[in-house]
Chains A and B, each alone.
Chain A
Amino acid sequence: MIRRREVALRWLLTFLLLIAAIVTWRSAGFFGQSLLAQTAIFALFAMSVDFLAGGAGLMSLGQAMYLGVGAYVTAVLTTIWHVPALATVPIGMALAGVIAVALGAVIVRFGEIIFIMLTLAAGEMLYAFVFANRSVGGSDGIASIPRADLTGIGLDLGSGPVFSAVVLVIAFAVFVFFDALLRSPFGLILTAVRQNPARARALGASINRLRTAAYVVSSIVAALAGSLLAQLNHYASPDLTGWELSGLVLIMVLFGGLGSLSGAALGAVIIELLSHFTARYTSHWELILGLIFIAVVLFAENGIFALLSKGAARLAARRRKERC
């Protein structure tokens, strides 16, 4: 019933990415481990945005807001109130969930254009709040954020390879989670709502409730990514909440292929690597990013995953012909 080839391709791509990650992990030095971990975190974040934009059809330019919530909850609770970092992760996710329910319930009922405007505004609201308030670090951000203490189960997150390995496992778990969600009855209805909301309504779908649910789930995972990012870099800054990051992750998703899930992860990998290598030669990475964004919207609407999918379809057709 469910499109089998696409799901198979999705898993294949994920396994390929995992293999590439493991190979990198074994040979990477200090900086490489950090990049690997950051890429995995962005892949996680990108998948959450893909679930929202590709799965539920809700294009948001403000998911970085929830990333920021996760990052700042960890940052503030650990540095100011000395709460163990591990505990701050679910707290940040819970706070993100609460905000997402309140905000989402209001804004999902608007058309997609107003929705995108409001998500952009909401993200900037958090940016303005954090920027102006010294109590949460202000424009300087918050530094010296500790990592979670997992020594109880024999893991020292202070070590680069250990941290990136843990993050990779979490990223894979998030992939499995979203994949299951998309293949569940909830995912089926979400897809239906995306393709023909009027018909879905006439069949009994509570559109607003479904969309809000998708928005909340996506935002909670974004907060997880934020908390991990804060722990990786031991630093949280207002930039984590703003439009630049929201746009960056959307580029990753569109580049990889909207709705493909593992395409988003692939997009994250490619864009992250690109940004790190161009940063060596120019400080105008954002210009290149903007041009990539424009190019993707103009020419590669369905992203890399669509190309892979078409290639696989052609392969299957050729094999079928050979059998006859």
Chain B
Amino acid sequence: MTVQLLNGLQLAMLLFLLSVGLSIVLGLMNFINLAHGTLYMLGAYLGLTSASITGSFWLALLIAPLGTALAGMALYQFLLRRLGGGSPMRQILLTFGVIYVGIEIIRIVWGNDSHSIDPPALLSAQMVVLGEPYPAYRLFIIVLGLVTMAVLFLVLERTRIGAMVRASVDDREGATCLGINTQRLFLSVFGLGCLLAGLAGVVAAPVLSVYPGMDIAVLIYTLIIVVIGGPGSLPGAALGSLLVGMADTFGRVFIPEFSAFLIYVVMAAFLLLRPQGFVAIR
């Protein structure tokens, strides 16, 4: 039971890293990057390659998120910006096209097989949590997630930049009137979201298998979390990730054939009962 709870928490943390960027960007700019899962996948593959080249997991942990953030910014600079003002729908469709391209590029460069990397020596031991043995690496993921959550929360609540983000999510036009450069803000938040996606990818590589196609399943969960949590809300993303992470983990254990359904049932329930999301921003 403890093991399952911890597994659920670990998955929740991974999902949080993925969904928080997406959620804030949606709240900020009314835009969603459907290629977000692709960035996650890229992070995992970059981590794979840099770990095997440098022999160090910790270096991979540094390189992969940065590489992913660069890829995301390139995507924005060369493609998304071309669509200028326009409706966000066209930009969203553009990112959908990127999913096809991304998956094929991964296939071309890395092939179709499934890969995995070993967790770093430092974290390959088993720890004991509440009387049960539990891999240290998974605890690392949980800690990493919680630390990120705390840092983001502090930035959002206590810094000027955070205040600007919250103001812009609350009222975009008003924020621009106040002199906040929402365009530059969007760029930074978008870049951070890509970074976190890449981080999630490389961090997940030792526990989940790395293969072309890992992007979609995780994308769907991320989208569900954003909808349940309410766009633009960090606590919403956190609670949503927790819910989905736990539901998936426990679903697989207790009702394996229907675990896929369970998430959607949860989502449907939320849509019906609380359509504005956990934490309603608007």
Chain A interfacial positions (CB closer than 8 Å to B)? 59, 61, 106-107, 109-110, 112-114, 116-118, 120-122, 124-125, 128-129, 132-133, 242-244, 247, 250, 254, 284, 286-287, 289-291, 293-294, 297-298, 301
Contacts and interface: CB of A to CB of B under 8 A. Distances in A.
Contacts of B220: 120-121, 124-125
Interface in B100-157: 100-105, 107-108
Nearest to A102: B268
B11 interface: no
A252 B33 CA distance: 22
Contacts of A122: 264
B275 A110 contact: yes
B127 to A, nearest CB: 32
User: Which residue of A61, A125, A133 has the most chain B CB atoms within 10 A of its CB atom?
Assistant: A125
B232 to A, nearest CB: 12
Contact of A298 (B30, B82, B261): B82
Contact of A121 (B26, B99, B224): B224
A124 B92 CA distance: 18
A121 to B, nearest CB: 5
B39 interface: no
B92 A294 contact: no
Given A114-B227, A118-B227, A289-B100, A284 B94 contact: no
A286 B31 CA distance: 25
B223 A117 contact: yes
A294 B257 contact: no
B59 interface: no
A113 B88 contact: yes
A174 B26 CA distance: 38
B97 interface: yes
Interface string B237-272: 000000000000000000011001100100110011
A116 B260 CA distance: 20
B98 A294 contact: yes
B83 A298 contact: yes
Contacts of B107: 284
Contacts of A114: 227
A286 B103 contact: yes
A61 to B, nearest CB: 7
B96 interface: yes
- Per CB-CB distance, the 9 closest pairs between chain A and chain B, nearest first, are A290-B100, A293-B97, A287-B104, A128-B260, A290-B101, A294-B97, A117-B223, A124-B220, A125-B264
B26 A107 contact: no
Given A121-B220, A290-B97, A107 B271 contact: yes
B89 A293 contact: no
B226 interface: yes
Given A247-B96, A293-B93, 19 more contacts: A109-B275, A113-B26, A114-B227, A116-B89, A117-B223, A117-B226, A118-B223, A120-B34, A128-B260, A129-B260, A244-B100, A247-B99, A254-B93, A284-B107, A287-B101, A290-B104, A294-B97, A297-B93, A301-B90
Nearest to A293: B97
B224 to A, nearest CB: 6
B267 A293 contact: no
A106 B104 contact: no
A105 to B, nearest CB: 10
B272 A106 contact: yes
A287 B79 contact: no
B223 A61 contact: no
13 contacts: A107-B271, A117-B226, A118-B271, A121-B220, A125-B260, A125-B264, A128-B260, A132-B256, A133-B257, A242-B216, A254-B93, A294-B79, A301-B90
B217 interface: yes
Contacts of B82: 298
A151 B172 CA distance: 65
A287 B100 contact: yes
Contact of B96 (A61, A106, A286): A61
